[in-house]
Amino acid sequence: MSSGVHDLGGREGIGAINPTPAEPVWKAEWEKHAHALFPLAFRAGFFGLDQFRSGMEQMDPDEYLNTPYYEHWVHSVVHHGVRHGHFDADELDRRTQYYLENPDAPLPEGKDAEGELVAFIEGIVPVGAPAGRDTGKAAKFSIGDRVTVLSDAPEGHTRRARYIRGKTGVIDRAHGEMIYPDTAGNDRGESPEHVYTVRFTTEEIWGAEEGEPNGSITFDVWEPYIVPASK
């Protein structure tokens, strides 16, 4: 969503970072399974990456801020799974209750004698799912151009963070066309657009008093997010 609580850049008063020098990859067994849901539900057509993010953004804000990270993934998988009829919400609740009362009950037997799912995992990890596209559309902007990010944001999924809206910066890099989140994340197709990295000074973003001196922020924008800066 265009102004949800997930859009965290610059928010204050939400606690200490408490970095850990090292930690296990999974904090609990269920996290390992939740992580695997992402590529496997993607393979099953539940969502593309932008829709997956959009699903997480629609969580209750309190839950979003206070639940373990992988719960966000679970939320999005259920959101899209129910939406597309892969899950029946009541059936899911019944089974959840069953496993809550019988946490050691086994999972059903797998139906993949040919090992296609393992092969899919081994295939997608080293290759990924590239978002780059080439429709041959000419880029409207070049490196060095001064541009301003539009200050409004449409309903639904977008990557136009609040803190860069209305701000002016300089194009630092140009990357060609990529899937456009504002259409892809809202079920309206890939509609690729040119992507640029824009550099903003800290002062431009946060003001001369609040911004730290000698700093900058770079943020990737799709072409429809920006207009030429007025002089």
Partner 1 sequence: MSAPEKATDHQAEIAARVKAIESIMIEKGLMTTEAVDRLAEIYENEVGPQLGAKVVARAWTDPEFKARLLENASTACAELGISGLQGEDMVAVEDTDDVHHVIVCTLCSCYPWPVLGLPPNWYKMPPYRAAMVKAPRKVLREEFGYDVPESVEIRVWDSSSELRYWVLPQRPAGTEDFTVEQLEALVTRDSMIGVGAPKAAA
Where in 98-127 is the site for partner 1 (CB under 8 A)? 98-100, 103, 107-112, 115, 117-118, 120-122, 124-127
Q: Is 97 in the site for partner 1 (CB under 8 A)?
A: yes
What are the tokens at 100?
């809550």
Report the nearest approach of partner 1 to the CB of residue 155 (Å). Answer: 17
Out of 85, 128, 136, 144, the residue judged to bind partner 1 by CB under 8 A: 128
Number of residues forming the site for partner 1 (CB under 8 A): 100
Q: Is 205 in the site for partner 1 (CB under 8 A)?
A: yes
Out of 89, 151, 154, 175, the residue judged to bind partner 1 by CB under 8 A: 175
- How far apart are the C-alpha atoms of 58 and 157, rounded to whole Å? 9
Q: Is 3 in the site for partner 1 (CB under 8 A)?
A: no
Q: Output phi, psi for 201, to 5 deg.
A: -75, 155
Residue pair 133/178 in contact (Cβ under 8 Å)? The answer is: yes
- Only one of the segments 60-68, 134-142, 145-153 lies at the binding site for partner 1 (rule: CB under 8 A); that segment is 60-68
Out of 2, 177, 182, 219, the residue judged to bind partner 1 by CB under 8 A: 219
Out of 25, 62, 144, 230, the residue judged to bind partner 1 by CB under 8 A: 25
Amino acid occupying residue 192 = P
Question: Which residues, at least 6 apart from 5, have a Cβ–Cβ distance to it below 8 Å?
Answer: 61, 64, 65
> First vs last Cα of the chain: how many Å apart?
32
Q: Is 182 in the site for partner 1 (CB under 8 A)?
A: no
- DSSP class per residue in 12-44: -SS------S---S-SSHHHHHHHHHHHHHHHT
Report the nearest approach of partner 1 to the CB of residue 231 (Å). Answer: 26
Q: Is 139 in the site for partner 1 (CB under 8 A)?
A: no
Residue pair 224/147 in contact (Cβ under 8 Å)? The answer is: no
